[in-house]
Amino acid sequence: MTDKVLGVILGGGQGSRLSPLTQTRSKPAVPIAGKYRLVDIPISNCINSGIHRMFVLTQFNSASLNTHIKNTYHFSHFSKAFVDILAAEQTPDNPTWFQGTADAVRQCLPYIVAHETEYILILSGDQLYQMDFADMVKNHLDSGAEVTIATIPVTAKDATDFGILKTNDENVITSFTEKPKTGLEDWISDTGPVMQAEGREFLASMGIYLFNKQYLIDILSNNPTEKDFGKDILPRAINNSKVLSHQYEGYWTDIGTISSFFEANLGLTDEIPKFDLFDNAHAIFTRARMLPPSKISGTTLIKAVIAEGCIINANKIEHAVLGIRARIGKDTVIQNCYVMGSDRYQRLEEIEEETNAGKPLIGIGDRCFINNAILDKNCRIGNDVKINGGDHLADGDFELYAVKDGIVVVKKAAILPAGMEI
């Protein structure tokens, strides 16, 4: 069933709301959970669902994303499986870059339709969830729909940030509104007793769409000026065709802002996290780096997630995620933080040379205090540095760091000298 489905993962735009994490990389390439990239989530969901052919559409800052996919997703020579990049390109017939989600798929249609497939699954590259698409495909086939939209019940507070749908008794979508600000009571749906008990009475689009291949070709080709799925293509489909709602009730979050990204990562430290990295049926795949195990000396660990290859001599790590090759010095306290780690280890000779020169090493030095912060990759934090994020800090973008919603984001490869305070 899913062997007839081709996955198309949208790489997203400039990702300005996730800046400065997206200053040098695209949103799907942003490191998450210490060892993964955001794009690993939709790709892994596809693989776990039996969908083994995927295109990733990219445009902005795509070099690191391309490298990650090239180094990660290798399949047997005897398999038809692939994960390939389709980068935005100018051609004699089309001199523009991608103008929106639908336009991106439209421009890549010649490559997509060249493959033998009956259904196209459109996914976002910046969402966190674990979903079996086989159920969605089965419902789509059984209903005879042209399009199926994955939906999730949300509260009235959250409904104003999503496209909200209404369905009939057969889960066929009858109407759609984008981010409603008034008249919410008209959009209440029967989401089931469990969801209603939680106040989740509105059906929101998850940005996950399953199209019949020929229908997608026709609707994109016949409406060449329509740029987005959410704003243009799907409302048109709902008015003129059979569009099914596939209700999903598991954990799902859109990684659109620094605060949502921060909360999603720190949520992994919960005793029973909503996003379960330990679920064999929904494993998350990523690049196999063959790193050594992490080494921890004299450190109190409380609600911490630690990736491979770390060297930790800290006093305390609490409510924090530490990425690959993270190095943390003696008597340092890390709390409420996501430390992304490093791309390499420094050689002993390099460490000695830079220490003698008074230059901070890659990682976090001794006697530091860091709270409510994200440290991007390859940062050099000197000794006795103090970072205390919180509501008392005003938002701002500075040379070495940015502040968003009280969260201090130290920029990639930034050097914070000894004794600096934020």
Q: Where in the chain is the domain with CATH 3.90.550.10?
A: 2-269
Q: Is residue 330 a contact partner of residue 364, using CB atoms and an 8 Å limit?
A: no
pLDDT at 227 over 90: no
183-196: pLDDT as tens digits: 888 898 888 889 98
Judge whether residue 66 has pLDDT over 90. Answer: no
Lowest mean pLDDT among 80-84, 92-96, 380-384: 92-96
CA angle centred on 276, ends 273 and 282, rounded to 5°: 165
Give long-range contacts, CB 8 A cutoff, 24+ apart: 388-395: 388/422, 389/336, 389/422, 393/422
78 confidence band (pLDDT: 50, 70, 90): confident
| pLDDT attached to residue 15 | 64
- Which residues are CB-contacts of 350 (< 8 A; sequence separation ≥ 6)? none
Tokens 């639908």, residue?
A: 102
Question: How confident is the model over 16-56, as pLDDT tens digits?
Answer: 788 899 888 888 899 999 999 999 999 999 999 999 999 99
- Among 15-24, 90-99, 406-415, the range of highest mean pLDDT: 406-415
pLDDT at 107: 83
pLDDT, tens digit, 9 for 90 and up, residues 350-370: 999 999 988 999 999 999 999
Provide the strand spans (E) within 72-217: 82-87, 119-124, 127-129, 147-154, 163-167, 173-178, 202-212
- The yes-or-no verdict on residue 102 having pLDDT over 90 is no
282-335 per-position pLDDT tens digit? 999 999 999 999 999 999 999 999 999 999 999 999 999 999 999 999 999 999
| Choice among 101-110, 273-282, 388-397 with the minimum mean pLDDT | 101-110
> For residue 391, what pLDDT is reported?
93
pLDDT of residue 13: 63
Mean predicted confidence (pLDDT) in 232-246: 91
Q: Which CATH class is domain 291-416?
A: mainly beta
CATH number of the 2-269 domain: 3.90.550.10
- Average pLDDT value over all residues in the chain: 91
Give Cα separations from 260 to 105, 257, 294, 322, 361 (angstroms). 27, 5, 28, 18, 30
Q: Which residues, 6 or more positions from 367, have their beta carbon under 8 angstroms from its beta carbon?
A: 329, 330, 331, 332, 383, 384
In the chain, ranges of CATH 2.160.10.10 domains: 291-416
Reported pTM: 0.93
Is the pLDDT reported for residue 410 higher than 90?
yes
Angstrom distance (rounded) from CA 277 to CA 211: 29
- Tell me the mean pLDDT in the region 98-108: 79
Q: In the prediction, which pLDDT does 298 show?
A: 94
